[in-house]
Chain A
Amino acid sequence: MATDALRAQVAAKWQESFSRLNQNEAGIVGLLNFSQAWNIARECMRPRGLDEPDPQTQYDKATFQASFELLNKCRRLPILLETFLDDMRNHFPVIKQEVDQYTLEYQNTLDTTHILNLVFRLLQWYNKWIPRQELGTTLQSAFVLSFQTHMFSILSPAFVRGFQALCASTLPPTDPDAIAPEPNVKMWEAFETLGLLDRYENIIASVGYEHIEAHVIATCSGQWSESMLPELRKWMTDKVVPWMLLMYGRNATTADDAKAMLQNVGSRFDFHMAKTLCDLRTKEIFDIIIDFPDSSGALQDLKECLLRVDQRAALVHTLRKANHKRLLHPGADTRLILSQYVATIKCLRIVDPPGVLLFKVADPIRRYLRERPDTIRCIVSNLVGDDDGGDSLVDESEPIQPLQQSELEDYTDPNWEPEPVDAGPDFRANKPSDVISTLVSIYDSKDLFVKELQVLLAQRLLAITDDNAEKVEKERRNIEILKIRFGEAALQVCEVMLKDMTDSKRIDGHVQSQKTSIIHPTIISKHFWPMLEATEIVMPGQFRALQEEYAKEFSTFKPDKKLRWLPHLGTVHLELHLEDRTIETDVPPLEAAFIELFSEQDVWSMDDLIAKVGSSVDKAAALKALLTWVDMGILKEEGENTFKLLEVAETSTPREARTVSNAAMELPSAPSVQQQQAEQMRVYWKFIEGMLKNLGSLSIDRIQAMLKLAPGYDQTVEQLGIFMEAARQEDLVDVYDGLWKLTPK
């Protein structure tokens, strides 16, 4: 079929190939030479068993080289290479068997020496099989690539785990006393040769990371008193860097070289250390704040770490969560929340001076505090030093300064700085103001504080029983300090209260000089004291006589004024002479009134007692007063609500007569701000009653609109609604279809 031309072409090709292999020798001598050279070369490069002798022992270098040159001349080297790689692939199952065996042993014992042995064994194979240097780099690199490909294909995941463990075992131990393992240079070289380092670089790095993490957590957990970072850095230099040097700086010849090589990886490790420490401190932040100021070292660390690692959001998140879980719940005392808040302010100011973190963390706390009814009272009582042994929120060394209002930014200030990048849109650049200003700014106005302050001052002033000028002086000093903060005008009322105290004393001095009396009243100016709960007690017997007598003397001294007693306030020091005993005690007036009645008659029912002292006394208060005496063993409850005087002490209840009863120690009650608001609302009841009487039924909006005409009315319609609801419960009004009307009497 083939044409002549084709036939000729094939013949020419064949001839050409033949002559190339035959090298133009006579006959087939060249061909024979070629096949001999091929055999020698192939034999030389054949992958051998480890116990077979090296090819060098069989053939000398010259023969070997000659064969190769011949092959090269015939352009058969690529074919040789392919054959060689094929041979290698065919022999690899031997290695695989060994690898599997070592890996299995490791899996059974978890002893990393098996892995180490495996690596060395692999190295042996590698060295055995690697083609001679003089054959050129092409061959060698082809070999390395192929060997590694095959090797990695047979290494199982179990080996990777073992390798990781092996690397970990070379690390310096965390325990400083233990001896560091000898650096196994050979092993690292083997790793390098076999290409394990490049392939498993991630694993080695993760070993390093884990080591750092373990060390940081072991040494720094709960260690807040001093900064740990310098020590950690030293540890890194002493322990971790030499380890890294084995791996990353292996080719370095000089110190500078090594330094350059380690720069990159070293900063990665340093970053990881900072991150670990930062995570740890973030996790601990709540307790760190509790420990403040003993934990300032930890805060310094945190500050430095935050500069390196961007964990600010995580910190805010964690702290907010911790606050929510551990602080802002009904079980926490308001004082505790406040002091934690103050500590948070101080701590976060260290960590982040511009206050962005603080602003983000403080917001929920402030919102929560605003909802607590006793927050103001807590802050104020802290301000006046009324705390029973608790830590003062205010650092005494801090200078007292006027409250600061958040002011507009002054863009003409040459030191003006823009808001930090992560500041939210509603971030207010709070100038580092003092703690009190921050606390007061929880509320929109400081009036609430002034009101509460007034209530508190009233309680404390009225509690001063004996003529104790120092106590009044102390209050005056307090008020003077607070004036600096709140301003003179705001505390004018307190000023009057203090003046009333000294005036009372002066007046009392005068009255006593005219006619001695055992009653020493504090005379107050009605509109300058918080509204005091008005329960009208009609004091019986000698008490009334005393009151009237004193009032008469007072009017003689101040003819244009008269006294109006607030009989439920104050304390009475009494001495009770009973048949078998004498008891001396301090009691509130209601108690005194009751016992006075008992001196007229031995047995009283509670209702009769209440009727005697004026019906405005409620039963609970009366019962409490009576129980005070029962506690002292002077009265005894006989039947329901009937009490009997014990002229002779009952032996069955040998109670020690206490000189001071607890009830007497209680501060006179002054209603809180909320109660006062309700009280204010009561003023408007007359208006409401009047309009309902004249106009029949009205809707709440209508009532509100009309009340707005009344002077000083500032209640919202909601407050009015609450008040009307309260009035309805007292059966004063009735509501039908949203229209309120008076209940017909």
Chain B
Amino acid sequence: MKVEIKNWHAVAQWRWDTGVSEANGMDDDEGDVCGICRVPYEGCCPACKIPGDDCPLIWGECTHVFHMHCLLKWIGTTASKQQCPMDRRTWGQSVPIFSSNTLSSFCSYC
């Protein structure tokens, strides 16, 4: 017997590729949350309504990941002293470690 697939209507979820999960076997169902607003990465920051490309993440050199809007707001305050809120190292945006190394579309939202 030969099975030929004519059409497959599948369902999938998208996840942010935070670089850590699958490699470290940490890919649990809960997903990780933004260290500032405590909302999952796949959710959106408190100011946004639509998740995904409209409320992207930002990757720090210190490997901490936040909702971009949350972090920018934090950096915008004087109290932040331009530091990462998690480890108080000076914040620097890193080029994320993607599983695929194409970076073409990354800059579209910076």
Q: A residues engaging B (CB < 8 A)?
A: 462, 465-466, 492, 495-496, 499, 503, 518-528, 532, 534, 542-543, 546-547, 551-552, 554-567, 569-579, 584, 589, 592, 595-596, 598-599, 645, 647, 668, 683, 711
- Contact at A575–B14, with CB atoms within 8 Å? no
For the complex, what is the distance from the CA of A215 to the CA of B96, rounded to whole Å? 91
For the complex, what is the distance from the CA of A571 to the CA of B7, rounded to whole Å? 9
- Contact at B1–A576, with CB atoms within 8 Å? yes
Residue in contact with A564 in the complex, picked from B7, B13, B49, CB distance below 8 Å: B13
CB of B56 closer than 8 Å to a CB of A? yes
Within B7-43, which residues are at the interface with A (CB < 8 Å)?
A: 7-17, 29-31, 38, 40, 42-43
From A520, A560, A573, A668, residue with most partner B Cβ within 10 Å = A560
Complex contacts, B98 vs chain A, CB 8 Å: 555, 559-560
Please name the 9 residue pairs, one residue from A and one from B, whose CB atoms are nearest each other, closest first: A569-B11, A573-B7, A521-B10, A573-B6, A519-B8, A577-B2, A575-B4, A527-B43, A570-B10
Complex contacts, A543 vs chain B, CB 8 Å: 5, 8
A510 CB to nearest B CB, Å: 11
Can you offer 13 A-B residue contacts whose CB atoms are under 8 A? A525-B52, A526-B14, A527-B43, A554-B14, A558-B53, A559-B103, A560-B16, A563-B12, A567-B10, A573-B7, A574-B5, A575-B3, A576-B3
Complex contacts, A532 vs chain B, CB 8 Å: 11
CB of B77 closer than 8 Å to a CB of A? no
B50 CB to nearest A CB, Å: 6
Say yes or no: A564-B12 contact (C-beta < 8 A), given A518-B7, A557-B105: yes
B102 CB to nearest A CB, Å: 5
- Contact at A560–B57, with CB atoms within 8 Å? yes
For the complex, what is the distance from the CA of A573 to the CA of B42, rounded to whole Å? 31
Q: B residues engaging A (CB < 8 A)?
A: 1-17, 29-31, 38, 40, 42-43, 49-53, 56-57, 96, 98-100, 102-106
- Contact at A589–B10, with CB atoms within 8 Å? yes
- Contact at A562–B8, with CB atoms within 8 Å? no
- Contact at A572–B106, with CB atoms within 8 Å? no
Residue in contact with A559 in the complex, picked from B3, B7, B52, B100, CB distance below 8 Å: B100
Which residue from chain B places its CB closest to the CB of A569 in the assembled complex?
A: B11
For the complex, what is the distance from the CA of A566 to the CA of B15, rounded to whole Å? 12
Complex contacts, A567 vs chain B, CB 8 Å: 10
- Contact at B6–A574, with CB atoms within 8 Å? yes
- Contact at A523–B8, with CB atoms within 8 Å? no
Say yes or no: A499-B50 contact (C-beta < 8 A), given A527-B43, A562-B15: yes
- Contact at A519–B51, with CB atoms within 8 Å? no
Complex contacts, A570 vs chain B, CB 8 Å: 8-11
- Contact at B15–A556, with CB atoms within 8 Å? no
Which residue from chain A places its CB closest to the CB of B27 in the assembled complex?
A: A564
Complex contacts, B53 vs chain A, CB 8 Å: 558
Complex contacts, B40 vs chain A, CB 8 Å: 526-527
Say yes or no: A564-B5 contact (C-beta < 8 A), given A526-B42, A557-B105, A559-B105: no
Complex contacts, B11 vs chain A, CB 8 Å: 462, 521-522, 524, 532, 565-566, 569-570, 668
For the complex, what is the distance from the CA of A532 to the CA of B30, rounded to whole Å? 13
For the complex, what is the distance from the CA of A557 to the CA of B105, rounded to whole Å? 8
B51 CB to nearest A CB, Å: 5
B23 CB to nearest A CB, Å: 12
- Contact at B17–A561, with CB atoms within 8 Å? yes
- Contact at A525–B7, with CB atoms within 8 Å? no
For the complex, what is the distance from the CA of A601 to the CA of B103, rounded to whole Å? 43
- Contact at A558–B105, with CB atoms within 8 Å? yes
B22 CB to nearest A CB, Å: 8
Say yes or no: A561-B15 contact (C-beta < 8 A), given A526-B42, A534-B29, A556-B102: yes
Which residue from chain A places its CB closest to the CB of B2 in the assembled complex?
A: A577
Say yes or no: A526-B3 contact (C-beta < 8 A), given A520-B9, A555-B99, A559-B100: no
Residue in contact with A524 in the complex, picked from B8, B12, B104, CB distance below 8 Å: B12
- Contact at A599–B106, with CB atoms within 8 Å? no
- Contact at A547–B4, with CB atoms within 8 Å? no
Complex contacts, B4 vs chain A, CB 8 Å: 574-577
- Contact at A525–B14, with CB atoms within 8 Å? yes
For the complex, what is the distance from the CA of A576 to the CA of B10, rounded to whole Å? 19
Residue in contact with A599 in the complex, picked from B3, B16, B30, B56, CB distance below 8 Å: B3
From A554, A559, A563, A578, residue with most partner B Cβ within 10 Å = A559
Complex contacts, A565 vs chain B, CB 8 Å: 10-12
A53 CB to nearest B CB, Å: 117
Complex contacts, B2 vs chain A, CB 8 Å: 576-577, 599
- Contact at B31–A526, with CB atoms within 8 Å? yes
For the complex, what is the distance from the CA of A584 to the CA of B11, rounded to whole Å? 22
For the complex, what is the distance from the CA of A564 to the CA of B31, rounded to whole Å? 12
Complex contacts, B29 vs chain A, CB 8 Å: 534
From A557, A573, A596, residue with most partner B Cβ within 10 Å = A573
For the complex, what is the distance from the CA of A519 to the CA of B83, rounded to whole Å? 45
- Contact at A524–B105, with CB atoms within 8 Å? no
- Contact at B5–A518, with CB atoms within 8 Å? yes
Complex contacts, B100 vs chain A, CB 8 Å: 552, 555-556, 559
Complex contacts, A598 vs chain B, CB 8 Å: 1
For the complex, what is the distance from the CA of A554 to the CA of B11, rounded to whole Å? 14
Say yes or no: A546-B7 contact (C-beta < 8 A), given A522-B12, A564-B14, A565-B12: no
Say yes or no: A546-B8 contact (C-beta < 8 A), given A527-B51, A552-B100: yes
A549 CB to nearest B CB, Å: 12
Complex contacts, B50 vs chain A, CB 8 Å: 495-496, 499
A116 CB to nearest B CB, Å: 91
- Contact at B10–A528, with CB atoms within 8 Å? no
For the complex, what is the distance from the CA of A571 to the CA of B40, rounded to whole Å? 29
From A543, A561, A577, residue with most partner B Cβ within 10 Å = A561
For the complex, what is the distance from the CA of A592 to the CA of B3, rounded to whole Å? 9
Complex contacts, B7 vs chain A, CB 8 Å: 518, 520, 572-573
Which residue from chain A places its CB closest to the CB of B11 in the assembled complex?
A: A569
Say yes or no: A572-B8 contact (C-beta < 8 A), given A495-B49, A563-B14: yes
- Contact at A522–B14, with CB atoms within 8 Å? no
- Contact at A523–B13, with CB atoms within 8 Å? yes
Complex contacts, A578 vs chain B, CB 8 Å: 1
Complex contacts, A595 vs chain B, CB 8 Å: 3
For the complex, what is the distance from the CA of A391 to the CA of B55, rounded to whole Å? 43
A530 CB to nearest B CB, Å: 13
Which residue from chain A places its CB closest to the CB of B49 in the assembled complex?
A: A492
B27 CB to nearest A CB, Å: 8
Say yes or no: A566-B12 contact (C-beta < 8 A), given A525-B51, A525-B52, A542-B5: yes
Which residue from chain A places its CB closest to the CB of B51 in the assembled complex?
A: A525
- Contact at A562–B3, with CB atoms within 8 Å? no
For the complex, what is the distance from the CA of A551 to the CA of B13, rounded to whole Å? 11
Complex contacts, A547 vs chain B, CB 8 Å: 10
Say yes or no: A561-B9 contact (C-beta < 8 A), given A599-B1, A645-B1: no
Complex contacts, A647 vs chain B, CB 8 Å: 1
For the complex, what is the distance from the CA of A526 to the CA of B41, rounded to whole Å? 10
B88 CB to nearest A CB, Å: 24
Complex contacts, A546 vs chain B, CB 8 Å: 5, 8
For the complex, what is the distance from the CA of A124 to the CA of B86, rounded to whole Å? 122
For the complex, what is the distance from the CA of A380 to the CA of B35, rounded to whole Å? 37
B99 CB to nearest A CB, Å: 7
For the complex, what is the distance from the CA of A543 to the CA of B49, rounded to whole Å? 35
For the complex, what is the distance from the CA of A522 to the CA of B16, rounded to whole Å? 17
From B96, B100, B103, residue with most partner A Cβ within 10 Å = B100
A503 CB to nearest B CB, Å: 7
Which residue from chain B places its CB closest to the CB of A596 in the assembled complex?
A: B3
Residue in contact with A503 in the complex, picked from B1, B43, B52, CB distance below 8 Å: B52
For the complex, what is the distance from the CA of A565 to the CA of B49, rounded to whole Å? 24
Say yes or no: A569-B3 contact (C-beta < 8 A), given A559-B98, A562-B99: no
Complex contacts, A492 vs chain B, CB 8 Å: 49
